[in-house]
Amino acid sequence: MFIKSDQIAPLPGADAITIAIIGLGYVGLPLAVEFAGKYPVVGFDLSLNRINELRSGFDRTQEISASQLQNIKTTVNNDIGVFFSADVKHLQSCNVYIVAVPTPTDKHNRPDLTLIEKASETIGMVLNAGDVVIYESTVYPGVTEEICVPILEQVSGLIFNQQFYAGYSPERINPGDKVHTLTNIIKVTSGSTLLVADFVDYLYRTIIKAGTHKAPTIKVAEACKVIENSQRDINIAFVNEIAKIFNLLNIDSQAVLEAAGTKWNFLKFKPGLVGGHCTGVDPYYLAQKAQEVGYHPEIILAGRRINDGMGTYVAQEVIKLMIKSNIAVRQANILILGFTFKENCPDVRNTRVIDIVRTLQEYDTCCDIYDPWADPVEVKSDYDLTICKSYEQLTGIYDAIILAVAHSEFVDLNYSLLKKNEQAVIYDIKSVLSPALVNARL
């Protein structure tokens, strides 16, 4: 299907594509599963524990079922299916590499490209003439061609756009969302030449039911990703700010939003904590690139400041409510319901619930965290916190309860059994409980 043209190294033929997925998290694993229905796939991850879990049929992200994993597993060199491996040698037979590793920020909110750079080094060691490297990780415009490609060239010794090629197709996966799944979301594609762009677009069209949108350049595709989540972040920052204003005016912000939402063009965003690996991170990537070219992004960073401060704001509001109810704050028992960054999802990356916990700890309170979705080992490793995985682990009767994450398990809890007395405070960040049950909601 793909003409060799005058390029030194021809692109892979449509019937000879073998794909390597680098990084098997929330993005990489669904990609590996979908492509495995069409092509031979090597699913590569540096974590041997992750590889062993996937081989046994267990996905800790809960994106792929055990039966799905069992149905697509294969061994090396089989025609169709996925072979999970942590060994670089198993990448040598591949000719299309798709990078789906995390791109977080550091403690100063600066982009941390360490993992995508390491992934590029790994691919460079096995890269052959005619191979195509496609990046899905969120980056600011220019990272693919200005940072990753030079690494590929240096390690492989090959010449870009003559002996190997690149593409970018931003991931749009929403962890925990069983409706907007990989194949049901339009995929933006791009390539380093016109022919490569056609190749990348063709590749994704073989699995994406919703269709594709071919961007004119890699930088356009990179830019579209960071503005999608930056736009969402700014909109949430707006409703977070009005929630603070209406709280001071003693007006129910949720009632205001419901009323305003009756207008056909009102954007129905809700106030809350903004965490996770996309919305709470991507604006910093865009801001970094803007500052590099001499522009200070005011709205983007203002939105980030508002949203990054919401955990502390919630904690302080709960403390005020406790004081008004004559509850001694020091050594008070507080229950925090939920720790993941969103409901019905085990992902704790960049959860802003941690800001509530840290602020309450500054007041010498005793916090219990109950989350049936989060992995206690991961929470302990990443945040040095001990959480309760089951309701039976809860140890006390609480002076305050904060519903931080709207897991379905929390809707029908008997809150009267958890409250120490009638004065105990219930604060509902997600506005999922009856207004009559709570003292305040965001």
Q: Is 366 among the catalytic positions?
A: no
Whether residue 351 contacts residue 341, with contact meaning beta carbons closer than 8 Å, is answered with yes
β-strand pairing of 400-403 with 425-428? parallel
Q: In one letter, which amino acid is 187?
A: K
CA distance readout (Å), 261 to 1, 21, 170, 273? 50, 42, 31, 21
Task: Give the closest residue to 423 by CA, choosing from 403, 399, 395, 397.
Answer: 399
Identify the CA nearest to 331 among candidates 368, 370, 363, 355: 363
Give every CB contact of residue 429 below 8 A, 6+ residues apart in sequence.
Answer: 272, 273, 314, 402, 403, 404, 441, 442
The Cα angle at residue 302 between residues 301 and 305, in degrees rounded to 5: 85
Distance between CA 219 and CA 204 in Å, rounded?
18
Of 266, 271, 279, nearest in space to 317 by CA:
271
User: 278, 345, 367, 388: which is the annotated catalytic residue?
Assistant: 278
User: 382 φ, ψ to 5°?
Assistant: -85, -30
Burial class of residue 309 in the structure, from the number of CB atoms within 10 Å of its CB (0-12 exposed, 13-18 middle, 19+ buried):
middle
Written as six digits, the tokens of 319 are 């403390």
**Beta strand residue intervals within 322-438, DSSP E:** 333-337, 366-370, 400-403, 425-428
What are the DSSP E strand ranges found in 223-364? 333-337
258, containing H or E segment: helix 253-260
d(CA 81, CA 34): 9
Strand partners, 164: 131, 160
Question: Where does residue 436 rank: exposed (0-12), middle (13-18), buried (19+ CB within 10 A)?
Answer: exposed
Cα separation of 288 and 326, whole Å?
A: 46
Q: Which residues are within 8 A (CB) of 358 and not within 5 positions of it... i.e. 6 or more apart?
A: 311
Distance CA(333)–CA(396), nearest Å, equals 7
Active site residues per annotation: 278
